Amino acid sequence: MRIVTRGRFAPSPTGVLHVGNLRTAIAAYIGARAVGGDFVVRIEDLDRANSTVEHEQSQIHDLRALGMEFDPAIIRQSERFAVYDEVIADLTARGLTYECFCSRREIREAASAPNGALPDGAYPGTCRDLSAAEKRERVRAGRPPAIRLRTNAESYELVDAIRGVYRGTVDDVVLRRNDGVPAYNVAVVVDDAWQDVTQVVRGDDLLSSTPRQIHLQRLLGHASPEYAHVPLVLGADGERLAKRHGAVTLADLTALGESVQVVRDELLTSLGLPTGPLDEVARRFDWSQIDKSPWTIPLRWQTRG
């Protein structure tokens, strides 16, 4: 039987979680717990070159330190490549993919050109109609292909729990990179369905990717979860939060004398929520409480790092 609500947090273990990541995790946890739902953590370690067990362990430690409870049986995307490959093979058999030989530079240049109804930064389909001879020429030149989804600029509308109505157009998203690694969009769609995730809470920098994922969900026969995209966290310079902005991890802040509870309450306040243990806050939670503006971290964190 499908759980009524299941939320998730899915970090990439390529570094220590900063307070922006932790803030989003708190929103995801409270959103699921508010309706008596389940909560899972998934490790999105597709980037094998930069993912480490140490980072994974530190991330799990920080989530639990803030008061999040979740199933200890955590799945890792690095262990599920065969599943993603099977899905990509199915889409290919249905005539829904093509090989893309573009370099990163060519993709950047193509994405920066006007692309009609496609969203900013979208891939315009440069390789979608290459002849067999053109493909052989690129292979001989030592250019391994990525696999892209063949789309028709489909448009999808969703009602985001924080952002409200959003409509976006789908482009020919990558399914498998040219190094053979399955891409984020296919992995996240497959895993959300496999884990029965019904509520996805994440940073609003991923909002524009949601129509792509809805399109894949429909192609694969999966239901779409509810979405809530949390505004990002900024440094004093107005740029997205990074290490250069000071003490931005839980370990940084506790080393400077901030207790875990103080950090937790600061993040809750930044979201527009009351302070206290997360499960208690969840009992009084409603999505209308979430502050819809980006949050700039406190000056004391920026100057003491």
CATH code assigned at 108: 3.90.800.10
Of the candidates 252, 294, 251, the residue with the CA atom closest to the CA atom of residue 272: 294
88 and 74 part of one domain:
no
Percent share of the chain, pLDDT over 70: 94
85 and 170 part of one domain:
yes
Model confidence at 119, in pLDDT bands (50, 70, 90)? Answer: low
Residue 189 lies in a domain: no
Residue 67 lies in a domain: yes
Q: What is the mean pLDDT of the chain?
A: 92
Of the candidates 279, 283, 256, the residue with the CA atom closest to the CA atom of residue 19: 256
Q: What is the pLDDT of residues 3-32, one digit of tens each?
A: 579 999 999 999 999 999 999 999 999 999
91 and 26 part of one domain:
no
69 and 133 part of one domain:
no
Residue 284 lies in a domain: yes
The full length of the chain comes to: 305
Domain that holds residue 150: 81-176
Model confidence at 112, in pLDDT bands (50, 70, 90)? Answer: low
The structure tokens listed for 206 are 């991923």
What torsion do the CA atoms of 81, 85, 86, 90 make, to the nearest 10 degrees? 160
Residue 218 lies in a domain: no
Domain count, the chain: 2
Report field, pTM of the whole predicted structure over 0.85: yes
Predicted pLDDT of residue 121: 65
**Spatial separation of the C-alpha atoms in residues 70 and 40, rounded to whole Å:** 5
What angle (nearest 5°) sits at the alpha carbon of residue 238, between those of residues 235 and 242? 40
292 and 275 part of one domain:
yes
